[in-house]
Structure 1
């Protein structure tokens, strides 16, 4: 344990996802040893992102405008919506260049242990979007882990009564993995071989 400001910085860094106590300590000492100008740029970048970035009013992706660049793009296919958990998953899918439709970001996945149920996700907003008669297919692209599978099953059962095709990504993604860590080829093949969500 360190004193005062150093320990406070380590504690705050340790609250970031994926940062354990040792990583937090290494980062804190890197910050202490770094040039002041470099750290001021980091501080400005953090403040700027918190001030400017919000969520797209249509899909929930991160943006600095009312609509994200994907929702504003008239070249995207408005008949297909790919449902993902987080904005980082949109980037993972976009890297494959296998999908040219639109997205819907849920803002997480169903996780009863963490107190996250369907009401905490952007599912109502998805249902509102489905009132548009243009939409013909929903692709559920949740992470292939326990929470992602629970979310996909919930969505599949709820959406099957609407009369819109509901598909899931095909195999090829490792169970227990996250979309953002999948390579482009694996994720692209999973998109091309997607299957009915209820089979």
Structure 2
């Protein structure tokens, strides 16, 4: 294509989620065509983020400060903790503005096939957070997958004696979704999770 530097750039870009080799080549070409306005600012932002961003020791979020801005915000509802699989899920819920409490990032879900067991999840710090009695409800916001459902079941059992209410996010028909195009699992879950109109 154009030398080992370009091949390395394309190879690194192709490792990012959502970018295959073709998309990575297009992105690399865009960056290389305007190095002063696109590539160098991106490189500088990457270096700064790599140096500054860290995991929050309380919830597991990624932020430039520890505790993170969410944990440090005195206006958050400290009686609610929303448990998510990863930081991307936390960011999605924050973007939606749907939760004004705190979070806890598990760092994965139980997956026997993937080799992820209970000891691989970030559960200890959550149990520590529940011990002082401030938290009254834990919301389990895990994906509607087999592994997510297994993790919700396991967590519900683990949290049963913690003196907090345990709930889970609803799953079902998406806004604007037509019933005829939904998969069987989503449709049956939506019917089971129905509520008064």
Query: Please, what TM-score do these two structures have when normalized by structure 2?
Result: 0.79
Partner of 1:48: helix, strand, or coil?
helix
Q: In the alignment, what sits opposite 1:129?
A: 129
d(CA) in 1 for partners of 2:60, 2:20: 29
Larger-Rg structure: 2
Q: Which runs of 5+ in 2 are unaligned?
A: 175-189
Query: Is the contact between residue 56 and residue 63 of structure 2 (CA under 8 Å) also seen in structure 1?
Result: yes
d(CA) in 1 for partners of 2:158, 2:173: 24
Q: In the alignment, what sits opposite 1:185?
A: none
Query: Is the contact between residue 167 and residue 194 of structure 1 (CA under 8 Å) also seen in structure 2?
Result: no
CA drift at 1:3: 4.4
Query: Is the contact between residue 170 and residue 194 of structure 1 (CA under 8 Å) also seen in structure 2?
Result: no
Partner of 2:83: helix, strand, or coil?
strand
1:166 partnered with 2:162: no
**CA 1:173–1:6: 2 relative to 1, 3 Å:** farther
CA drift at 1:20: 1.3
* Greater mean deviation of Cα atoms: 41-50 or 79-88: 79-88
Q: In the alignment, what sits opposite 1:187?
A: none
Q: How many residue pairs align between the two structures?
A: 178
Q: Which runs of 5+ in 1 are unaligned?
A: 175-189
Q: Answer 1 or 2: higher relative contact order, Cα 8 Å, separation at least 6.
A: 1
1:89 partnered with 2:89: yes
d(CA) in 1 for partners of 2:111, 2:136: 29
CA drift at 1:168: 0.4
Q: In the alignment, what sits opposite 1:34?
A: 34
**CA 1:67–1:23: 2 relative to 1, 3 Å:** same
Q: In the alignment, what sits opposite 1:179?
A: none
| Alpha-carbon displacement from aligned partner over 1:97-143 (angstroms, at most 9, x marks no partner) | 33221111112223333333322221111111111212111100012
Query: Please, what TM-score do these two structures have when normalized by structure 1?
Result: 0.78
